[in-house]
Chains A and B, each alone.
Chain A
């Protein structure tokens, strides 16, 4: 199919389940290629912490299989479906890696890209290829599999992914501080990340975002929520929690979420249900943690904002009112001042067609990006224009 399209120069929309279809620049394509028939777990060795699955295998199926052996995907992939108007829990494992979407545990355990060991795929030349493998350490050849993460199907169609998994921690506990302003909250999160307690989640939700939480004790307070997660053996978690709280006493008294509440709280964040689908726009901004509050304050000078800070502040989910240009000029200007990059996650197709959805690239990086596109997909048929015009 790819070779046929390549010969005719027919653009192909490459999707898994299509749950993230409303993200990126809108594409016009005659043909859609879904990987959903490439499903099934090809290999699972719990004692080696490794799994291979067809790219079209639903993430939920992967996670059910892992949970059966007390294991998980440590990078806690977030589900952009609900926030972007797509279905919840539908995404495929291939798409998780193709978009490199990682959740709160990314700060402790690494991103999706860090857990990918190998792939099989088909490039725009209709060549089947494989890179990487199934072992944890592998420097044979260039790291092409990792290089394909975050390419949103524009370089190759993934057919099989092999990745690292980890055991579920025995216990999870979350400590919560209420009512801190953004800058103090981020200071607290950074301080906690610098302690030897292996904090595995560090988030701050502004009051207007926190009120969307399901947790009854947190949603109704009318206050911002700053939360830190500890995961480990139960004994360790108990001791570390005490020591962490002592070290952070100057920030006020902390509430505690027990194991069950803690798991529920973080799975809510994982679904991004605090940024629900609606007419407002949603931006995803990556920056240095300590500059995050300044960046958000900078955008606020131009428009009302609601912010959810993940990764100790290094990742900002920013909700802004709908406008024709999505506030692109102002947001990109502020991001340029503070460093980092911004992606428009949710907006009407007409808006996504008229503005740069992904962070515009500098000239050298753009040249390399075009070079890679040419190397993998010279006819430009795989998800053309999904990330950047003419790429």
Chain B
């Protein structure tokens, strides 16, 4: 996969490498700078592994002040910075560049204070997503957003991408669960936005920062909401002999007033691969399968599951299996949770992330299959149906350059289809480099200008996470305009 052009490195900066590394070593603890080839190699890609680039150097600061010093130095010396959490981005959001240094927050992973009364926790953002929930779990609390990489991914990365997860149908995504952040701006200034209270004053700068893909600054601390866990949760497994019925059923459940914590969808190819690996006992004679999970007390769950059975009956389900025990719940989830891993065993796959209006599901799924078939590829669908967030997995052979390119082209067509039916390019992974050049499909030039001007407010020289989110040509033009503005402050960006 090499269809996306990466920005040409600035050779003048590359030539200054050894000076830059020496300077950085003066600014932070010596072992916080990684400059040897082997060390840098570990940072050359994120989870979009088809794209790799060695960074000029990697800095892993231990304090906000160190982050501040590094950014100020980079701003003064016109060096680009690629912020990094754990490098689990599926869209190339943390892909380095040869003329940029990577600033990773992974060493800043402490919990700074838990406040159960006010239901909030203050952490350094290098903490993993799951570690937040683990820290408050014994008291019966949890942090709601749960991306499937939650064991590894950092809160910093979640904030950059406004990450979601299976349970955000009920609890919202990152932006709905962050109360305040400490952000280091590119000029080194440390700024507090929001706080432990619910609404921030003035403009909603927090909303702009969350989901800004590391282009507005580096968030080093955050106050996030923690919620009391439900007493228990249990799923029901539903099978249908056509995808349309499954889609209608999702809409009926959501419209009924039940608020499931998750509604997951798997199509036949996904069921087959998952069954071969996980042997969760899923029905094999169905075209689509839903896992709907509800929460509450034992009694409430039993009633909700019976109610769901009532709702789905008119849609003629071929399998109805409400869980009655923790063991059964675990088995029902096992197939879904191991689906991506199961695919990884049989093939390379390219995981897409478009969102569509739910009502278009029945029409979109066959079209996705058709798009892939036209490129000679197979596709399976495993996704969060409750909010229409599709994750088609396009199967291909990474060693076959032609096939890899066809997979990338099919992916782009699928995303265009999502936009055409009223959806969007990305539900939870972000744009990164992967979908950068498709932004024009969803947005007009005026729309993109509005966004790019906001970027210039936070990072006037466009040094943070370069070459991402916007089509490369537009980025480069705006970045150059930003630098010009610095030199000639009376000139306005068009």
Contact indicator per residue, chain B 453-465, by CB within 8 Å of chain A (1) or not (0): 1111110000000
Q: Do the beta carbons of B117 and A47 come within 8 Å of each other?
A: no
Q: Which residues of chain A have C-beta atoms less than 8 A from B126's C-beta?
A: none
Residue A46, interface by CB 8 Å: yes
CB-based nearest B residue for A121: B450
Residue A340, interface by CB 8 Å: yes
Q: Which residues of chain A have C-beta atoms less than 8 A from B2's C-beta?
A: none
Interface window among B196-204, B274-282, B392-400: B196-204
Contact indicator per residue, chain B 440-473, by CB within 8 Å of chain A (1) or not (0): 0011101111110111111000000000010000
Q: Do the beta carbons of B297 and A141 come within 8 Å of each other?
A: no
Q: Which of B169, B201, B358 lies in contact with A48, CB distance below 8 A? A: B358
Q: Do the beta carbons of B254 and A135 come within 8 Å of each other?
A: no
Q: Given A139-B211, A168-B257: A129 and B450 within 8 A (CB)?
A: yes
Q: How far is the CA of A379 from the CA of B388 in the complex (A)?
A: 41
Q: Given A49-B254, A368-B457: A114 and B172 within 8 A (CB)?
A: yes
List which B236-280 residues lie within 8 A (CB) of chain A: 251-252, 254-257, 259
Choose among A136, A368, A376 the residue with the greatest number of B CB atoms under 10 Å from its CB.
A136
Q: Do the beta carbons of B208 and A236 come within 8 Å of each other?
A: no
Q: How far is the CA of A389 from the CA of B193 in the complex (A)?
A: 21
Q: Given A143-B211, A375-B454: A45 and B300 within 8 A (CB)?
A: no
Q: Do the beta carbons of B388 and A137 come within 8 Å of each other?
A: yes
Q: Which residues of chain A have C-beta atoms less than 8 A from B208's C-beta?
A: 142-144, 146-147
Q: Which of A102, A127, A135 lies in contact with B387, CB distance below 8 A? A: A135
Q: Which residues of chain B have C-beta atoms less than 8 A from A250's C-beta?
A: none
Residue A107, interface by CB 8 Å: yes
Q: Given A131-B450, A364-B185: A113 and B207 within 8 A (CB)?
A: yes
Q: Given A111-B198, A141-B443: A70 and B257 within 8 A (CB)?
A: yes
Q: Do the beta carbons of A167 and B355 come within 8 Å of each other?
A: no
Q: Which of B185, B204, B296 lies in contact with A100, CB distance below 8 A? A: B204
Q: Which of B118, B196, B427 lies in contact with A135, CB distance below 8 A? A: B427
CB-based nearest B residue for A199: B228
In the complex, which range does the number of interface residues on chain B fall in?
35 or more
Q: Do the beta carbons of A286 and B231 come within 8 Å of each other?
A: no
List which B383-408 residues lie within 8 A (CB) of chain A: 384, 386-389
B317 to chain A, nearest CB (A): 18
A contact residues, total (Cβ < 8 Å): 83
Q: Do the beta carbons of B450 and A45 come within 8 Å of each other?
A: no
Residue B492, interface by CB 8 Å: yes
Q: Do the beta carbons of B198 and A134 come within 8 Å of each other?
A: no
Contact indicator per residue, chain A 151-167, by CB within 8 Å of chain B (1) or not (0): 10001000000000011
Residue A92, interface by CB 8 Å: no
Q: Do the beta carbons of B199 and A111 come within 8 Å of each other?
A: yes
CB-based nearest B residue for A340: B197
Q: Which residues of chain B have C-beta atoms less than 8 A from A337's C-beta?
A: none
Q: Do the beta carbons of B212 and A151 come within 8 Å of each other?
A: no
Q: Which residues of chain B have C-beta atoms less than 8 A from A113's C-beta?
A: 204, 207
Q: How far is the CA of A142 from the CA of B228 in the complex (A)?
A: 30
List which A194-234 residues lie within 8 A (CB) of chain B: 194-196, 233
Residue B299, interface by CB 8 Å: yes
Q: Which residues of chain A have C-beta atoms less than 8 A from B175's C-beta?
A: 114, 143, 146
Residue A138, interface by CB 8 Å: yes
Q: How far is the CA of A195 from the CA of B141 in the complex (A)?
A: 10
Q: Which residues of chain B have C-beta atoms less than 8 A from A170's C-beta?
A: 257
Q: How far is the CA of A286 from the CA of B185 in the complex (A)?
A: 26
Q: Do the beta carbons of B228 and A139 come within 8 Å of each other?
A: no
Q: Given A113-B207, A127-B449, A143-B175: A137 and B164 within 8 A (CB)?
A: yes
List which B162-207 residues lie within 8 A (CB) of chain A: 162, 164, 168-169, 172-173, 175-176, 185, 189, 191-193, 195-205, 207
List which A62-82 residues lie within 8 A (CB) of chain B: 70
Which 7 A-B pairs give the minimum distances between C-beta atoms? A371-B457, A146-B207, A47-B251, A137-B427, A136-B387, A167-B257, A341-B201
Q: Given A170-B257, A372-B457: A137 and B389 within 8 A (CB)?
A: yes
Residue A390, interface by CB 8 Å: no
Contact indicator per residue, chain A 223-264, by CB within 8 Å of chain B (1) or not (0): 000000000010110010000000000000000000000000
Q: How far is the CA of A378 from the CA of B423 in the complex (A)?
A: 32
Q: Which of B173, B193, B256 lies in contact with A137, CB distance below 8 A? A: B173
Q: Which residues of chain B have C-beta atoms less than 8 A from A387's C-beta?
A: 202
Residue B359, interface by CB 8 Å: yes
Interface window among A33-41, A287-295, A297-305, A323-331: A287-295
Q: Which residues of chain A have C-beta atoms less than 8 A from B388's C-beta?
A: 48, 135-137
CB-based nearest A residue for B230: A196
Q: How far is the CA of A195 from the CA of B435 in the complex (A)?
A: 42
Q: Given A146-B204, A368-B457: A139 and B430 within 8 A (CB)?
A: yes
Q: Given A140-B431, A235-B303: A286 and B446 within 8 A (CB)?
A: no
Q: Given A128-B446, A142-B212, A147-B207: A134 and B422 within 8 A (CB)?
A: yes
Q: Do the beta carbons of A47 and B430 come within 8 Å of each other?
A: no
Q: Do the beta carbons of A144 and B427 come within 8 Å of each other?
A: no
Q: Do the beta carbons of A239 and B299 come within 8 Å of each other?
A: yes
